[in-house]
Amino acid sequence: MDYVKEAVALILSGDRELVQIIGTTLTMSVFSTGISALLGIPLGVIIGKNSFRGKSFLLQFTNTLMGLPPVLAGLIVFMLFRAIGPFGKLQLMFSLPIMVIAQVLLITPVVTGLSAAAAEERSILLRETAAGLGIPRAKQTLLLLRECAGQFISIILMGFGRSIAEVGAVSLVGGNIQFKTRVMTTAILLETNKGNFTKALALGIVLMLLALLVNVPAYSLQKKLK
C-alpha cells in the first residue's frame, strides 16, 4: 500500500519527467494508430468485400504479419533507417517519428486483417440485399462502411492498445532516451530494473487510466452505432 500511496502522490505532484513520458507515449500512440487505421481499414475493406485470385494467400500473409514479433519489426526499421541503411540520410533514428514508423509496421497488419474479416462477413449479406434492391456498387461500399462502423472502432481500439503497451520495437529504434523517446512501457521496465518501484507503479497506474479513458467513450459510441 505504501508504494501505491507514493505512486499516487508522484502522479499528483506533476513530476516533469512523468508528464513528458506520458505526452510522448500519447503522441506516438495516437499518430501510429491513426496512420494504421487510414492505411489498414480501406485496404481491409477492399480485400474483404471483393473476390479475386490470390485473395486467400493475401489473407494468410496478412494474418501472419499480425503476429509479427515487435523486436523483429524494430529490427527491420532499424536496418532500414540506420546511418548506412537505405533511408539513413533521413536521420530519423532515436526519434519520435521512427518510433511511429515501427508502430505502424506492427499495427497496420492487425487493422487490415481484422477489417478484412469484418468486411467479408457483412458484405455477403449486403450483396444479396443490394442485388434484390438494385443498389449500385458505390453505395454498397458506403453501406458496408456504415454497417461495420462499430467493429472498426473496436479494431482501432485494439490497435491503440497494442501501440501504447508495446516495448520491444520502440525501445530498439527509439533508444529510451530521457526527455526525448522514453515512453511509459520502456520507462516502467527501466525503473523496475533500477528498483524504483514507486515511479514504475505510477506509470502503470497512468497507463491503465489512459486505457480506461479511451475505452469508456468508445464503448458508448459503439453501442450507438449498432
Phi/psi for 14 (5° steps) reads: 70, 40
Contact assessment for residue 133 and residue 64, using Cβ atoms and an 8 Å cutoff: no
Task: Name the CA dihedral angle for 50, 56, 59, 65, rounded to a multiple of 10 degrees.
Answer: -160
Q: What is the pLDDT of residue 102?
A: 96
Q: What is the pLDDT of residue 26?
A: 94
Q: What is the CA radius of gyration of the chain?
A: 20
Question: How would you write the pLDDT of the chain (226 residues) with one tens digit per residue?
Answer: 677 888 888 888 888 999 999 999 999 999 999 999 999 999 999 998 888 888 899 999 999 999 999 999 999 999 999 999 999 999 999 999 999 999 999 999 999 999 999 888 888 777 767 666 666 766 777 787 888 888 898 899 889 988 998 888 999 999 999 999 999 999 999 999 999 999 999 999 998 888 888 877 766 666 665 5
Tell me which residue has cell 500512440. 29
CA dist 199 and 15 (Å) reads 10
pTM: 0.90
Contact assessment for residue 152 and residue 192, using Cβ atoms and an 8 Å cutoff: no
SS3 135: coil
Total of domains in the chain? 1
Q: What is the pLDDT of residue 131?
A: 63
Q: What is the pLDDT of residue 42?
A: 93
Which residues touch 42 (CB under 8 Å, ≥6 apart)?
none
Q: What is the CATH number of the domain that holds 77?
A: 1.10.3720.10
Domain span including residue 73: 2-225
